[in-house]
Amino acid sequence: MTLFQTILFIVFLFSLQPSASLEICRVSCGNQLVRFPFRLSSQPDRCGYPRFNLSCKDQAQTALSLPFSGEFNVVHIDYLFQNIWLNDPDHCTPKRLLHGLNLSSTPFDLLYPRSFTFFNCSAAASTQLHQAKYISCLSGTNFSVVALPADRLDSSASLSTSCLEIATVLVPFSWTGWSNLGNGIMLTWNEPNCLRCENGAGNCMFKSETGLDVGCSGGFTNGLSRHAKYGIMFGAGIPVLFIVGLVIYLRNKVEEDYNNRHPNQPELLSTTPRLDASVKGLDGQTIEAYPVTLLSESRRLPRPNDNTCPICLSEYQAKEMIRTIPDCEHYFHAVCIDEWLKLNAACPLLIDQPQYCGYQDFELSCQIQETTQDVTILTFPYAGNFSVFHIDYAQQVLQLSYSEGCLPRILLQGLNLSGSPFMSENTQSYTFYNCSTMVQYPGVTKIPCLSGFNFYVVAILTDGYTPLTSVCLEIAKVMVPMSTDWWEDGMTLGWNQPDCRWCESHQETCLFENVGAGLQVRCGSAIKH
């Protein structure tokens, strides 16, 4: 780059209008980062979406006030999945639920709501109810308050003789299961929808100074944000201009001295050394040889459900160019994959990560699909392959479904998690029956993937009252990892080690303390070698 070109580049950067709104609107209260759609009450109105107001108590505790349910402490905000974890300031969330959690006039909804019935029992009776959740903050010396999912009441008939029913309320049922009822509640929001922007590491914000339409600034799809360019302008532009001028001056000085000493030698040629592109990436001619397709208005793709570029995470649009890698037939935006291939010869979806990128026994694989979107796979040594459709890093749980599409079948065969770091936090014993006709009893669940045209496979809690023996044949009793609709949606498993919950809740990165030296982890942003 000549001095003149460099000056033009710097002038161009100066012409950009910097935006300080992100810096003004992004604040912290204690360890909680507050940004769009949330805002603190002391910030400008346009920093947040309507009804997403938070307060900061003693500069340390973020709080959310619900119009008809009072104030809650904010434990964690998951901007990526649009969830917020709340807790009672007096550390007794069940008491707040009994008073009625009214979310009217708020943008929030319950995350996986489930009905729970609360009972007041004698202290002796509560110890015999292994399925019930003991509520310590509501219990006393001579009595105990317990909660039980309403759909399990038939299996706990002893409650009616030793306990008094208090109320049945809806409880947000989180991924961790109902056993953590006293640890707070999880709410979610749908509007504004910033999922794609957050997934692309962008900044969700209002599109204009008026209205409620939101857009995305920065991230993988929009290049550098304006404030980033502004930083580059002052942080790099002026020093680069000075260095380039100094280099040109020294170079001319050296050439002048050389020519004075060697007047008969040919003029020194100006060359710029280049790395061999074949060492890391591909040359331009090879890249251009890869097939390119111009998408029509119908946006017809080789795999219709694979409609998002894996690099920039944007959907393919009409009149865009996509380039296909012949060896694996993966396709991307041409402008995205071309830059990648200049530095890496391999397809970005097929590159194996180094071992230090993950913890022992936490290896996942990407299963390539011909007609549908690729699937993340977790393989258990003694249970086979499971599809991963959600990982909650903050709570250390993951949601799985059996890769062959029928989880109850693998449960009947025996779910063996030996040799893996995963476990079910809450299991229940279910009895499976094969019935000649469909039975209609409370608590009986039909298993569609195991049933046929003239027979029905059903399951019911083992210790429940089951008048099924006259019309059904018992198959087996199995332990089932509890989750919502496990017979259709899969199961939820958790892990204890490595323990990165504190790190994730403070929005930091969990990684190895030292690469190649043990399994100790820490919070940080870089790996120590």
Q: Between 210 and 427, where is the model more confident?
A: 210
Does residue 337 contact residue 329 with C-beta atoms inside 8 Å?
no
Same domain as 283, residue 161: no
| Residue 125 falls inside a structural domain | yes
Same domain as 194, residue 154: no
Same domain as 194, residue 77: yes
Mean pLDDT in residue range 30-43:
92
In this structure, the number of other CB atoms found within 10 A of the CB of residue 341 comes to: 23
Q: What percent of the chain lies above the pLDDT cut of 90?
A: 12
**For the purposes of burial, counting CB atoms within 10 Å of the CB of 409, is it exposed (0-12), middle (13-18) or buried (19 or more)?**
middle
Q: Between 246 and 138, where is the model more confident?
A: 138
Dist. CA 98–CA 95, nearest whole Å: 5
The pLDDT of residue 457 is above 60: yes
**pLDDT score, position 484:** 55
Q: What percent of the chain lies above the pLDDT cut of 70?
A: 70
Quote the Cα angle for 138-139-141, to 5°: 150
Same domain as 486, residue 362: yes
Mean pLDDT in residue range 521-529:
63
Provide the H-helix boundaries in 324-419: 334-343, 407-413
| Residue 315 falls inside a structural domain | yes
Closest by CA position to 361, among listed 308, 413, 306, 421: 421
Same domain as 447, residue 379: yes
Per-residue model confidence as pLDDT tens digits over 328-349:
778 889 988 888 888 877 787 7
Dist. CA 4–CA 7, nearest whole Å: 5
Banded pLDDT at 53 (limits 50, 70, 90): very high
| Residue 166 falls inside a structural domain | yes
The pLDDT of residue 51 is above 90: yes
**pLDDT score, position 352:** 65
Banded pLDDT at 269 (limits 50, 70, 90): very low
**pLDDT score, position 487:** 61
Same domain as 381, residue 448: yes
Same domain as 104, residue 196: yes
**pLDDT score, position 277:** 35
| Residue 527 falls inside a structural domain | no
Per-residue model confidence as pLDDT tens digits over 300-316:
777 766 778 888 778 88
| Residue 142 falls inside a structural domain | yes
Which domain CATH number covers 331? 3.30.40.10
**pLDDT score, position 213:** 93
Mean pLDDT in residue range 25-41:
91
Query: What single-letter amino acid sits at 12?
Result: F
Banded pLDDT at 481 (limits 50, 70, 90): confident
Edge-to-edge strand ranges of the sheet holding 445-446: 445-446, 456-461, 427-435, 472-481
The tally of domains found in the chain comes to: 4
Per-residue model confidence as pLDDT tens digits over 143-195:
778 888 877 776 555 565 667 777 788 887 653 444 455 568 889 999 999 98
Which of 89-93, 323-327, 480-484 reaches the highest mean pLDDT? 89-93
Closest by CA position to 155, among listed 428, 351, 413: 428
Name the strand (E) or helix (H) holding 287: helix 284-289
The pLDDT of residue 258 is above 80: no
Banded pLDDT at 106 (limits 50, 70, 90): very high
Q: Between 96 and 99, where is the model more confident?
A: 96
Same domain as 364, residue 495: yes
The last residue of a domain, from among 205, 224, 243: 224
Tell me the backbone φ, ψ of residue 481, rounded to 5 degrees.
-65, 120
Dist. CA 379–CA 164, nearest whole Å: 46
**pLDDT score, position 155:** 55
The pLDDT of residue 230 is above 60: no
| Residue 1 falls inside a structural domain | no
Domain that holds residue 72: 20-111+173-224
| Residue 333 falls inside a structural domain | yes
The pLDDT of residue 1 is above 60: no
The pLDDT of residue 104 is above 90: no
Query: Whole-number mean pLDDT of the chain?
Result: 75
Mean pLDDT in residue range 416-437:
82
Per-residue model confidence as pLDDT tens digits over 283-302:
888 888 888 888 888 777 77
**pLDDT score, position 177:** 46
- Which range among 143-147, 225-229, 264-268, 446-450 shows the weakest confidence by mean pLDDT? 264-268
**pLDDT score, position 411:** 81
- Rg from Cα positions in the chain: 30
Q: Between 258 and 458, where is the model more confident?
A: 458
